Structure formats: C-alpha cells, structure tokens
Structure 1
Amino acid sequence: MNGHVKNMHFQHFMETATTLLSLLLLMAVDSTKIVAAGRNPQCGNALQQTLKLTRLAQKESVDLIKTYKASQGEMSELLCKVTVNNIPDPSISGLEPSERILSIYTQLQAFLPHFKRVYEQQTDLQSPTSPLLSELAGVRARSRNLAASIKTFYQSLFPNLPVPDPAGGPTTLPPSQNVFQQKVYGCVVLRTYKEFLSNVSRELRTLKSKVCRRRIQKNKLF
C-alpha cells in the first residue's frame, strides 16, 4: 500500500514537472518569436536603411560644401558665416518619438525648394560642366530618398497615425538677390543642411535605443 502511494505521488510529480517544462519551452519559443517580430518590421530594416541613407547624405554634404566654396571664387570662406533668414531650422522638434520623426520628415521636405533655388542660381553662375551642378542635383535626389525612408520608418512604427502630405506649411524662399547674396544663400543652405543631417543621425540612434528596445521589452512582458 505504501509503495503504491509512493508510486502515485511520483507519477503525479513527473506529470506536473513535464507540464511545467512544456509550458516554459512554449513561452521561450513565443518570446523569441515576439522579440524577432518586434525587431524586424518596426525597428529593423526600415531604420537600418534610413541610417545608411543619412550617413551617406552626411558624407555627401561635407564634400558638397567643399566643392561649393571652391567654385565661388574670392572670399568663399566667409560666405557660410553670414546670417540668412528663412532657412529651414537644423534642429529637430517634438517631445514624443512620433513628433520628432515627423519633424525630420517635415524639415527634409522644407529643404527641397531651397536646393532647387540654389541649383537654379548656380546654373547661371557656373559653366555647364561644373561638378557643383551635378553634386547639387545629387543632394536634392538624396534628400527625396531620405524623406521617403523616414516616412516608411514612421509608418512602420506608428501605422495608425497620419503622415501630413505635403509635410509642413509653405516654404518661404528669398526674394531677388545679387550675385554675392546668391553665393551666401547657397552656402548657408548647404551648411544648415549638413548640421541638420548630423542631428538626424544622432536622433535616429537615440530612437533605436528608446523606441525599438522599449517595444521589444513590452512584447516580452506579454
């Protein structure tokens, strides 16, 4: 009788342990799947692509300013130091991650008409074969691609929030300018854009550590 009772207790213990082990294994597999899901669609490919484009745009902006100064003749080093109004702000605004990502997107859109104006002005000032013209056209195209990547990243994180289109309000361009003012304006636009890209790169790295890890941690809890 005692042996029978012991066998029953042992059998019950083994069944309980097996059930518990199965549950733990199931939870571990589900947790791995959730973490992977949290990394890939929301914070994985879209963010990596955006960071890659931002770094490339940063490098190009540094090279572009050098080319710009070299093509402007005398006093080229002083051009970027002059203050110009109605240039997009290089800083990123907003408190919530969604607001800050939209701020990046809005500012990128705001720079586009300025790039177009600088290109038109430099077309009149440079020879058709000037490398500056091709680099100016390239930075404009890169900015469009970066804006599209930011939009994709935003929609992957916040699929239920709208994206303003067109982003922001109308962009104010400068009135008619003399040659010197045109040279100053172009240099300030490019310098401000370079500062903006540095802020974007820093912001995206912060978002990666805050938003992505927070979502993964949240998934683990559930």
Structure 2
Amino acid sequence: MNGHVKNMHFHQFMESAAALLAFLLLLAVGSTRVVAASRNPQCGNALQQTLKMTRLTQKEAVNLIKTYKTAQGERSELFCKVSVNNIPDPNISGLEPSERIASIYTHLQSFSPHFKRVYEQQTDLQPPTSLLLNELAVVSTHSRSLALLVKNFYHNYFPNVPLPEPAGGPTTLPPPQNVFQQKIYGCGVLKAFRELLSNISRDLRTLKNKVCRRKILTNTSF
C-alpha cells in the first residue's frame, strides 16, 4: 500500500472517528439534559404552588368585592365606579423573568398597608361579626403568604440578583377621609388588587417555561 493510499485511509478514519465523537457528545449532552430535567422538578413545582395560591386568592378577591359592595349599602355601585388615586399600580413591569418576578413581589408588598387601612376603616363602619371583616382578613393573609412564596422562589432561582424594594419607597396612604371617601377608596383598593392577581396568574403561566427551562439548561453546561 503506497503512502497516498495510506493517507487517504487515515483521513477517512479520522473523519469517521470525528463524526462518531460528535455523535457521542450529542448523546451525552442530550442524556445530561434529560437527567437535569428529571432532577429539577422543584422549579416547576414551586411555580405551580405559587400559581395555585394566586388563583385561590384571586377567587377570594372576586368574592370579597361582592361582599364589600353589599356591606356598603345603597350607592355601592357608584362608589366602585369612581377612580381612586394613591393606590398601587396593578401592572407588572420588567423584561427579564427575574425582573417580572421581583415586580410581582414588590407589588404584593405595596398592597399590604392599603389592606390594613381598608380593614381599619371598615372596622369602624361594620359590626364585629361582619362577613366583610372576615374576608378582608383572609385575603390579606393569603396575599402575604403569596408574597412569601414569590420571595422564596426568587431567592432560590435568582440568588445573585438582590430583590429590590417597592419602587419609590413605602406606599403612600391617603390622608384622613370621610365615610364617603373611605367607601370609594376601599373599593378602589380591592379592584386594583383583583387586577394585580389576574396579571400575576397570567405572568406565572408564561414564566414557568422560561425560568425552569433556563435553570435546566444552566445545569447542563460543561
């Protein structure tokens, strides 16, 4: 066998070996991704738990508004049609998943003092056994639980990105109000909170694939 033929066979052998190595690497990467996916159910489970709490609180918020209107007596529909200032914006902001999850958390935090103010106002207007006071307390508690779930998820999956405080610092509460203003304010807070929960529910469904898939792919890097 002359040198030319040997070289030709050698190049063919090297090309075949390179193709085989590339194929084996693809298999290795593919199997690594499958293993990573099977070992990383926590991400999807954590978001699913958060979404479940969001939907529960959202359902309660819808019922709360109905109870609120009933408790306000006559002209309750009129109260709830008036626009209200000095309440948190229910729209979630941010381009990256980490930014949007952080926005969800800060928005939930922003509503907390407003819920407290509405509860205090309604305590003066409703009897102690009022269904409204009970529902306000339950929704407020679930809102804080949801904020804690979001916070824990953020720290687990974005540990290197500090969680920001609500934009603009502490939420400004309204000055002293008369009864008519209190009823308007309370309905405005509850409606905005209901809208926030709707936005959170939609965002979590979208973010589930983005965040958890990104986590899996990060685990497969060499």
| Same structural fold, with TM-score higher than 0.5 when normalized by the shorter chain | yes
What is the RMSD of the two structures over their aligned residues, measured on CA atoms?
2.3
1:113-192 map, 5 Å: 113-164=113-164, 167-168=166-167, 169-192=169-192
Residue 162 of structure 1 and its aligned partner are, at CA, apart by 1.3
> 1:26 Cα deviation (Å)?
5.7
Residue 211 of structure 1: how far off its partner (Å): 2.5
Partner Cα distance (1:89, 1:203) in 2: 16
- Partner residue in 2 for 1:7: none
Percent identity between matched residues is 66
Inter-partner Cα distance in structure 2 for 1:111 and 1:47? 21
Between the aligned partners of 1:154 and 1:85, the Cα distance in structure 2 is 30
Distance 2:131 2:200 in 1: 27
Task: Check the 8 A contact 2:69/2:77 in 1, yes or no.
Answer: yes
For residues 141 and 132 of structure 1, the distance between their equivalents in structure 2, rounded to whole angstroms, comes to: 14
1:65-80 pair list within 5 angstroms: 65-80=65-80
* Per-residue Cα deviation, 1:49-77 (whole angstroms, up to 9, x for no partner): 10010000100000000000000000111
Q: Pairwise mapping of residues 85-124 of structure 1 onto structure 2 (< 5 A)?
A: 85-124=85-124
Deviation sequence 1:71-126 (CA, Å, 0-9, x none): 00001111111111110001001121111111110010000000000000000000
Q: TM-score, normalised by structure 2?
A: 0.83
8 A contact 2:88–2:107 mirrored in 1: yes
CA distance in 2, matches of 1:106, 1:26: 41
Q: Which residue in the other structure is 2:64 paired with? A: 64
Q: Which runs of 5+ in 1 are unaligned?
A: 1-15
TM-score when normalising by structure 1: 0.83
Q: Within the alignment, does 1:49 sit opposite 2:49 as a pair? A: yes
User: What SS is found at the alignment partner of 1:175?
Assistant: coil
Report the counterpart of residue 40 of structure 1 in structure 2: 41
Amino acid at match of 2:38: A
Q: For 1:27 and 1:179, how far apart are their aligned partners in 2?
A: 66
Aligned length: 202
Report the alpha carbon displacement of residue 27 of structure 1 after superposing the two structures with TM. Answer: 5.3
Give 1:36 deviation, angstroms. Answer: 2.2
